[in-house]
Chains A and B, each alone.
Chain A
Amino acid sequence: MKCRVCRGPAVIDLPAHNANFCVEHFVAFCRSQVAKAIHEFRMLAPDDRVLVAVSGGKDSLALWDILLDLGYEADGFVIGLGIGEYSETSTAYARSFAEARGAKLIEVDLRADHGFDVPTAAAETKRPACSACGLSKRHLFDRAALEGGHAAVATGHNLDDEAAVLFGNTLRWNTEYLARQRPILPERDGFPRKIKPLVRLGEREMAAYCVVRGIDYIVEECPMAAGNKHLTYKDALNLVELESPGSKHAFYHQFLRRAADSFDAETTAHDGNRCSRCDAPSANEICAFCALVERCAPPAEVPIDLRARSSR
């Protein structure tokens, strides 16, 4: 197996691209795919500051690494979700990456800063952990980006993630979700721009990228993800991919090119109201995150000003 660029020994084969690469040219390939996505979907201007939503997993750390290498001013943002050892290890990987690269990592801890964690929220709301978790992440990323003056929030969703979500939404023709499934959501009414610069790269590429770049990440799955339908969709798509390389890319990117526009009318416009507690855009008097805090956080036993606060 030889590298497509230099004919030296290859370390990875990418059937979807009909190419094999050595370490050096594989790294260059990943960077160019991110640069291409950023350009194609007009995700960032050259001097835009970007906030990377970091989980400690392969995708977000690889994304952060690539954005820094492409010359963007990219800060990381990590949330302590309180999911036992999984959360502690994830945060530790995010910290060591930031330290190694001399990059800025902003940290929020659900328990310390908002009085609850994901397992409590799941138990309290009797809903899957991922819904409280996802809601909290979106809310806190938005807030951090607005406070930090970042032009955009970047997440590590890769091609496999997007193809799996598209597959699920298409199976049930969830047209409202289909309308929102874009690699860029423009800034609007107090929500920062959201971008997914990894939509041209698959999960296997991201894991391989971390290995060749020496980036340590959490390989273990979040214990709350068990039974998640996305895994089934990913397995199904990978069976197709094995027989017909490039299928995932075609499925998602041809959707964007040929079909996504037809669902535009389905997006519900936001009416400009604000949450009375945190001022986030919200259709209701209190936004979903503040409602969750109220539901999960135990009433304060000690007056706020006497409580020891971690200095951050």
Chain B
Amino acid sequence: MLVHLRNPSRDVEVAGPIRIQRLLDDLGINRESVIVIRDGELVPGDAKLPDDADIEIRPVISGGAA
């Protein structure tokens, strides 16, 4: 399964099937700080992804001070 991460942009291979929540835990990502997108749609935390899935884990935290 191909996982696309942003800021900086990079791809990681993860073995599926796997639940989103588990995937985020394995990658050490706080679920509050990202959304998961597959084919332009949101994927809920309890969804199980097949091994051939292609997803984006998009950070939602922005850091501007003004």
Contacts and interface: CB of A to CB of B under 8 A. Distances in A.
Nearest to A203: B60
For the complex of A and B, 9 pairs with smallest distance between CB atoms:
A134-B66, A207-B60, A225-B63, A130-B65, A238-B32, A11-B42, A231-B63, A228-B63, A203-B60
A12 B40 contact: no
A222 interface: yes
Interface in B8-60: 30-35, 37, 40-46, 58-60
Given A204-B32, A228-B65, A1 B46 contact: yes
Interface of A: 1, 9-13, 20, 23, 55, 57-59, 128, 130-131, 133-134, 137-138, 160, 202-204, 206-208, 211-212, 214, 219-222, 225-226, 228-231, 234-235, 238-239, 241-242
Contacts, number: 98
Interface residues of B, number: 25
A23 B66 CA distance: 31
Interface of B: 6-7, 30-35, 37, 40-46, 58-66
A225 B64 contact: yes
Given A11-B44, A219-B6, A239 B62 contact: no
B33 A204 contact: yes
Main SS of the interface on chain A? helix
Contacts of B59: 219
A238 B42 contact: no
A234 B61 contact: yes
A128 to B, nearest CB: 8
A242 B31 contact: yes
B66 A133 contact: yes
B58 A207 contact: yes
A242 B65 contact: no
Given A11-B44, A59-B62, A211 B37 contact: yes
Contacts of A133: 66
A303 B52 CA distance: 64
Nearest to A212: B42
Nearest to B31: A242
Contacts of B42: 11-12, 23, 208, 211-212
Contacts of A134: 65-66
